[in-house]
Structure 1
Amino acid sequence: MSAKSGIVVTTTFKLYNLVESLVKGQDDSLKEKKIIFIIDEAHRTTMGDMMAKIKEYFFQNGLFFGFTGTPLFDENKAKGKVNKRSELINTTEKLFGPLLHQYTIDEAIADGNVLGFHVDYINTGEFRNYDDLREQLIETLSEQHPEKGEKAIAREVYQWDDSEVENKAAEEGILTYQDETHIPRVVEEVLDGWQEQSQNGEFNAILTAAYKERVIAYYHEFKKQIAEKFKDGEAKPNVAMTFSFGNENDPDNIALEVVDEMFKDYANFTGISFTPGNKTHGEAAYFEDVTDRMKRGGSGRNPKNIDILIVADQLLTGYDSKRINTLYVDRRLELQGLIQAYSRTNRVFGSSKEFGTIINFQYPRMTQELVRAALELYGSGGNNSKVIVAKYEDAVDELNKRMVNLIQELSDPTRWIDLRDDEDGKKRFKVAFEEAAKQLNVVKQYYEFVWDDKRFGLDEHKWLQYIGAYRNLFPRGGDVPEEEVIRELQGRTKLQGSQVIDAQSILELIGNKTTTEGGYIVINDNNLVLIQEQIQELSNLGEHEKAESLKRFVNEELRGGHIPATSNFDEAFQDWQDKQQFKEVKAFASEWGIDADLLSKSLKEYSLIKPEEIPFRDDISKTLDPDKATNTFAGNKLMLNMKLGPVLQKWMREIKQKYK
């Protein structure tokens, strides 16, 4: 703060905290002052509760100006907030008032203040060409609609442009991107062009992929291919990754072993060590070093620099580095998100950087349309619709209708298993659930929002059970809803209020509800019923595999009277799981004629973080005995060895998941 000039530089968060303390203390002293607020990056965090409270407090005498390179228009479909006057504040103009001055991206490029973009769209081999996609679509649609006739369908399909063909092929599941094959292709493409694209390490690049899991998968694939492609002494790229680290209560928090691996790799080329969880030399310090180091260019300028940084969302908005010249994109970006991300590459930097390069690796024609729409919007400016939206009561009525429809598709969410083999029923449930979830998102935007069992059509706990049913029927990595729904469905697992139900809490409950008799742990019928209800609730809330393991443990070990009175329940459960796992190891080893002890050792070392890597894979193959195998390939060593690879990887992943 400058006392002489009267200028205060602060953040939304700090200003919000000040307003909160003033309101609680019934202090109106600042409210009466005439203050001008100049808000930078006005597209980012200005639509939420904090800015709403700030504007409400300073409403009488405050004057708010917003600056942004990507204002939000109706086309952005931002959620926004509905204020007390039933006004939906979801565009920059509605929040700050009429546009005062506009300087668009095409004008900035023409003036030489930023560079233009060179955008590539790569087909990584998921389809041969668009005519091939058309033929596959004709075959699929003819099977779905035999009454139309194949010729009529063919005429219709051949009238579609490539973007429509791509869109329909994706919708029908013909064109999909599977990480197991797609990520290695992308990494191969990036590494093959790295020297030329970075101008021998003078510049560096960002690769963005949706979700932290995919960031980690990319990181491991880069490490694998770099080790294979580059000989000792050759110039090779330094690769790093960063993401939101979360905290110990974050359901999407990253495993400690991943962070530890990332820090050790980073220290190998930078010489700087970080420690997971350390307040001064931990995750925050690592992120600060990464953002600073990315501004120095690639390893051609200094071997301690970063060449390729892998991110999910971080650094895609508001981060400036003149030495970033390339953005690799393996995700969907739209409108302001697309322009913001692309703009990381277009900062002016002498004659050696003529433009920012963007290389897209998904849905070439659909992505091309998204780029066109974004450039059109921010080259000319978008629209602002009328401010007034439906009243809260009307939004709740619509939610009630959708909840009723959801209940009609599955009246008891704990009976989700009835739909597991019913494909039509699953589809109807999926549509009904996502429609209800979307409308609930709308209702939550209103300031009046509070859960109302009667008006919403069901209580909050039952809604959590519907979320659990959805998760069990459509596990992540399979058929998932749109990203908007996913964000709202991430959250804690709870039973009526704040009681967290997980495997650990149930083991603690068992320990509290048991007694000893004859040197063994026993349980009475009433407490057994309580424990079984809790296990079922764990399944209802989307943890079916864990619930099944606990159910078997209770039935086989606790009710069977097999647990010594001196046992610790955690250890007893782990010992039981280890025994069950080894039974499956022996069965698989017998089926394929391989050594069970070596397979068990491999399984112990196997990591879900690196699912494609099978520890001791060559050693396992050497133990293969066709005379001991019991499956259909018994007696044929060549066939056994050929078929074992993909089956072993799938089995490893399933067993590790089952007994994690």
Structure 2
Amino acid sequence: MLGKRTTLDLFERRLHTYVITDAIRDANVLRFSVEYVGRYRERNGSRNNVDIEVQGINRRELLESDDRVSKILDYLLAYHNVKTSHRKFTSIFAVASVPLLIKYYEELRRRYEAGEHDLRVATIFTWQANATSADADGYGFAPDVDDQTTALTPDHRDKLETFLTHYNEQFGVKQSIADGKAFDNYRKDIAKRIKGREYKNAKDADRIDILLVVNMFLTGFDAKAVNTLYVDKNLKHHGLIQAFSRTNRIFTEDKSQGKIVSFRNLKPATDDALALFSDRNADEQVFLAPYADYADDFRTALERLRAITPTPASVDDLVDEEADLAFVMAFRALVRLLNVLQSFADFSWLDLGITEQEYYDYRSKYLDLKDEVVRQGEQSEVVSILDEVDFEVELIRRDRINVRYILKLLAELSRSRGADREQRRRQITSLLAGEVQLRSKRALIEEFIENHLPPSGNESETEAAFAEFWDERKQAHLHRISVAEGIPIAALRELIDEYFYSGQQPSQEELIGELETAPSILRRVGVAERLLGKILEVIEIFEDGVE
């Protein structure tokens, strides 16, 4: 609008429309999954004190009650890892007012200090007298002003300063809100940490898991690494669409949709906003189908997979590349559906017609086939029909399954006996074969199990023995590279450490400059590429996933 004049007033016809349904159709953004969580009941005054459900409840004393805040955080902490792919992504938690935000933050902090969670929570809000105005979010639009009825006080600024000390301690910085410029620098620091997760060299130490806000960051802020919006406020119209759209920027393969978890009944407001900014029949284009529909699709896809390979073991009997390709495509369809299903709070393997173990056995065969395609491609110039297949490894990566997790299983293995021991051993073997980030470590971990696993079953003793074993094998590996490439071990370690912590690959000049004898000009590129490959291999085997 220009003052009170619209585009239609100025030009007599609409020049162009491009709404969310267009963007989704063009694959510029993702669809949304929306879950409405929570039911509210009140006493009906009858002699039996029967509960009746209250529709469209909007009572401040209930919505800001300690009990409700506690129950919502119980849910959030129970499902946050599921929603964010085990913290690969950041979430935004939008609440109705500064006082309510303070309640949420302080309860999250209390639970953090009590050891009930280790999420990294940040927050930012304005406290000035005009915080309810249309520019309260700092981006020229307030998504929701209906709830901004509580007068803000100097105490709110004091609270933010306290929360900022937590932020500074957590990230080792010295942010301030002493004046407008300092406040804006704080906002920029938060934005940088969230957007920084988009890049390969992102450091886990910079990770923000949950950003608590009232209006800020709900418009005008695009970060591909945000995938979940928790909502406890009455969004509507353009503000609702804008807030939801913080989550649906296209990123990696395992970000299949923007996830909205609403603790208020926003269904009517969502329908109205969708009708206003697209059309009333756009639901199927904008929102994911219900969980049950995807479970049905999964079972159908599973039937197709079993028609090709009835069991995981039958993958080994596939006779040619066409059969291999059929299996890869059938299993990939299963992976895509599972990625969506696991984002629902209702997810259960019992709904899918396959056990978790059988699925991971199929997955191990899928990864074996991928590795074989890579090996053959390196050894042969003959083009395979599988060479161009995208195996979508990102979709089956589980960040929580790392070496530390395996060490806990190893301690349990040491304590077990008989059939239980054999079952635990099979579980570990299956994980090593099926987890992307563990496959490169498989031979070494199996060697540790066979020859170095302490019999006590004590976790700290197991970890100490493994750390010693791992360091010995790493040093031996570095020594072999040093001898083969003619590079001092100290220089090799420095190159590896620099790359691991910065994410920046060393240049050809840096690599060649560390060699004891410089190769000829014609051989430099080949030597540098080979050395870089060995550095990346060391990081993949000995560093990635070892925490």
Do the two structures share a fold, i.e. TM-score over 0.5?
Answer: no
TM-score (norm 2): 0.44
Q: Which structure has the bigger radius of gyration?
A: 1
Of structures 1 and 2, the one with the larger relative CO (CA 8 A, separation 6+) is 2
Query: Which structure shows the bigger proportion of residues in helix conformation?
Result: 2
TM-score between both structures, scaled by the size of structure 1: 0.38
